[in-house]
């Protein structure tokens, strides 16, 4: 037994590590490329053959966050000298930052980014909390037509969402929900809810009902038992569901493109809109993409322990 294990490990280990490395590299290469582009000088970004080694600069990020116009003529040296480092970078590119009084004007990107955050966070909180309560009901109570209802909930995910985009758009226009945060939040919540219910039902089914029953006989109401016992026990599942809902809402493109154009526009439709006419600034777009990737990465990283347990939930419990 021991011999078999150790031989398996001696050969298996390095092979497994190599395989994981290879797969990881394949999956990460687009992200590495975008990440590199975000720090490239403009000319280097589009050079053929591609440049792998270059001197990184943060100019794309400065450009991403500010409104700029082309300089008609080079700025006076004393103005240049007096400018802060980021403004110098813009001057170097033959542009200047637009200002109102002394305040530099921000581009639309921070606003779109904020929209993404608002819509994703609120819809995630709604989808997860509603999903958890619904799943609890399905898991703990006898419900007439339970299987049919659950199937119906799942069936809302069975056709590609874009199919209903036009009718949704018409409805939204009728209710004045186009280009509004509320509109997108409703959409994303509804979209994530079915998944949230199903995922949470799986997790809550795994929590022995004796835990709550112990709380019930110990003098707690069902509501208190839910908050004091079920929620903490379901934390792993809630984290996993939240990450999933957040990623779905954060990355959603099609509806955001159709339903919003200005006030409530999120980052995904905004970033490609920068390509616009004329020469696209690939480095700026890459910078926008890199910033866009951060929240999901941070969120997932913070919840990584819960996620790992979530994946192997059934396995360790017993």
Partner 1 sequence: MAEIELRHIQKYFGAVHVIRDVNLTIRDREFVVLLGPSGCGKTTTLRAIAGLEEISSGEILIDGKPVQNLHASERDIAFVFQLYALYPHLSVFENIAFPLKATGMAKAEVDRSVMAIADALAIHHLLSLRPSALSGGDMQRVAIGRALVRRPKALLLDEPIGALDAKLREDMRVELKRLHLENGSTSIYVTHDQVEAMSLADRIVVMHDGILQQVGTPSEVYLRPANLFVAQFIGSPVMNIAEASITSSGGKVAVELDGESFAMPHDLVGMLVEKNADRISLGVRPEGVLLSHEEKAGYRPVEAHIIQPYGPFDIVDLRVGSQTLRARTHTGFVEKAGERVWARIDPAQAHFFDTASGNSLEIRLSE
Q: Which residue ranges make up the site for partner 1 (CB under 8 A)?
A: 208, 210-211, 213-221, 224, 229, 232-233, 235
Residue with Cβ nearer partner 1 (192 or 236): 236
Give phi and psi for 99, each to the nearest 5. Answer: -135, 150
Residue with Cβ nearer partner 1 (57 or 233): 233
Residue with Cβ nearer partner 1 (54 or 211): 211
Nearest approach in angstroms of CB 132 to partner 1 is: 16
| Cis status, amide bond into 49, omega within 30 of 0 | yes
Nearest approach in angstroms of CB 206 to partner 1 is: 12
Residue with Cβ nearer partner 1 (165 or 235): 235
259, 179 contact by CB (below 8 A): yes
Burial of 206 (0-12, 13-18, 19+ CB in 10 A): middle
Nearest approach in angstroms of CB 301 to partner 1 is: 23
Nearest approach in angstroms of CB 237 to partner 1 is: 13
Please tell me what DSSP assigns to residue 75: P
Residue with Cβ nearer partner 1 (10 or 142): 142
Residue with Cβ nearer partner 1 (34 or 215): 215
For residue 85, what are the contacts with CB-CB under 8 A and spacing of at least 6? none
Nearest approach in angstroms of CB 129 to partner 1 is: 19
Q: Measure the N-to-C terminal CA separation of the chain; round to a whole number of Å.
A: 24
For residue 193, what are the contacts with CB-CB under 8 A and spacing of at least 6? 127, 130, 131, 134, 153, 156
Residue with Cβ nearer partner 1 (217 or 279): 217
Nearest approach in angstroms of CB 221 to partner 1 is: 6
Q: How many alpha carbons fall within 13 Å on the CB side of residue 9?
A: 6
Nearest approach in angstroms of CB 1 to partner 1 is: 25
Instruction: Report the alpha-carbon angle 298-303-309, nearest 5.
Output: 145
Burial of 287 (0-12, 13-18, 19+ CB in 10 A): buried
In angstroms, the CA 192 to CA 242 distance is: 10
């Amino acid at each position: 037994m021991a011999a078999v294990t150790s031989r398996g490990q001696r050969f298996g280990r390095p092979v497994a590590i190599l395989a994981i490395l290879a797969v990881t590299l394949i999956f990460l290469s687009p992200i590495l490329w975008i990440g590199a582009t975000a720090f490239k000088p403009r000319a280097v970004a589009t050079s053929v053959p591609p440049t792998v080694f270059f001197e990184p600069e943060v100019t794309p990020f400065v450009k991403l966050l500010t409104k700029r116009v082309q300089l008609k003529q080079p700025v006076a040296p004393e103005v240049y000298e007096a400018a802060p480092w980021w403004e110098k970078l813009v001057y170097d590119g033959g542009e200047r930052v637009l200002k109102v009084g002394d305040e530099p004007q921000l581009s639309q990107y921070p606003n779109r980014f904020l929209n993404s955050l608002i819509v994703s966070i609120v819809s995630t909180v709604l989808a997860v909390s509603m999903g958890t309560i619904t799943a609890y009901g399905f898991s703990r109570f006898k419900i007439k037509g339970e299987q049919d209802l659950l199937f119906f909930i799942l069936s809302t995910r069975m056709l590609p969402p874009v199919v209903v985009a036009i009718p949704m758009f018409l409805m939204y226009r009728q209710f004045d929900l186009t280009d509004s945060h509320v509109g997108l939040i409703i959409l994303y919540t509804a979209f994530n809810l079915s998944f949230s219910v199903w995922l949470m039902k799986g997790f809550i089914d795994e929590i022995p009902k004796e835990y709550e029953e112990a709380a019930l006989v110990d003098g707690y109401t069902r509501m208190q038992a839910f908050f004091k016992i079920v929620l903490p026990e379901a934390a792993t599942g809630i984290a996993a569901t939240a990450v999933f809902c957040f990623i779905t809402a954060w990355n959603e493109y099609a509806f955001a493109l159709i339903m919003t154009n200005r006030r409530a526009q999120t980052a995904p439709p905004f970033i490609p809109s920068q390509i616009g006419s004329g020469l696209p600034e690939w480095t700026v777009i890459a910078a926008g993409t890199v910033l866009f990737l951060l929240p999901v990465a941070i969120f997932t990283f913070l919840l990584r322990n819960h996620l790992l347990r979530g994946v192997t939930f059934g396995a360790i419990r017993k």
